[in-house]
Chains A and B, each alone.
Chain A
Amino acid sequence: GQQVMQIPQYQHVQEGEDFTTYCNSSTTLSNIQWYKQRPGGHPVFLIQLVKSGEVKKQKRLTFQFGEAKKNSSLHITATQTTDVGTYFCAGPEGYSTLTFGKGTMLLVSP
């Protein structure tokens, strides 16, 4: 079946530094979604990208969908302690399943 890989697994940054997580799928995706899970919490939807080469911004977060629709990235500019959590990408498999990457855990030190 479809595999979604994320790197890095873990990153520790100082507050104010930038952060990027990368997502690669073994198959072409119709769309890709990003979720954030705070420690002790549940995944919360951040964004969905649909078009090849699409770039979307949410304040300090920039999301990109690759031209081949097999890869994506999330970049956070000037991290804050509130950015702490695990970031997951997910792609649909068939019409009834969303396959998640294993996530990138972000730790931000003040």
Chain B
Amino acid sequence: KAGVTQTPRYLIKTRGQQVTLSCSPISGHRSVSWYQQTPGQGLQFLFEYFSETQRNKGNFPGRFSGRQFSNSRSEMNVSTLELGDSALYLCASSKDVNTGELFFGEGSRLTVL
């Protein structure tokens, strides 16, 4: 069974640009969550999608957005990049976040210069 796939794995952007990250969940998983991981703040929740609906959003500015498609694949977008957006962005899938474990992808490491 294939795991959670995130693309791209690494990317470098400059301030002001925008970025789109993609996540393909495990087959059959309908919940996709996104987390931002930085050394100082740990794993911070961005948003969660279930059956194409955003069920919850973390405390991040509106520059951070996401969506989920009918095949459960998800994308997140960050516009007007700032230096502080440099982080590892992790996607995790589950059958339902309240019933069990999250399966994380390898992450997309974003560097903003």
Contacts and interface: CB of A to CB of B under 8 A. Distances in A.
A88 interface: yes
Nearest to B94: A98
B98 interface: yes
Contacts of A45: 101-103
B37 to A, nearest CB: 9
Interface in B42-77: 42-43, 45, 48, 50, 55-56, 58
Contacts of B97: 92, 95-98
A90 B97 CA distance: 11
B4 to A, nearest CB: 9
Contacts of A30: 98
Interface stretch (B12-20, B21-29, B79-87, B104-112): B104-112
Contacts of B35: 100
* Most central of B50, B92, B101, B104 by chain A CB within 10 Å: B101
A95 B42 CA distance: 21
A48 B31 CA distance: 18
A97 B48 contact: yes
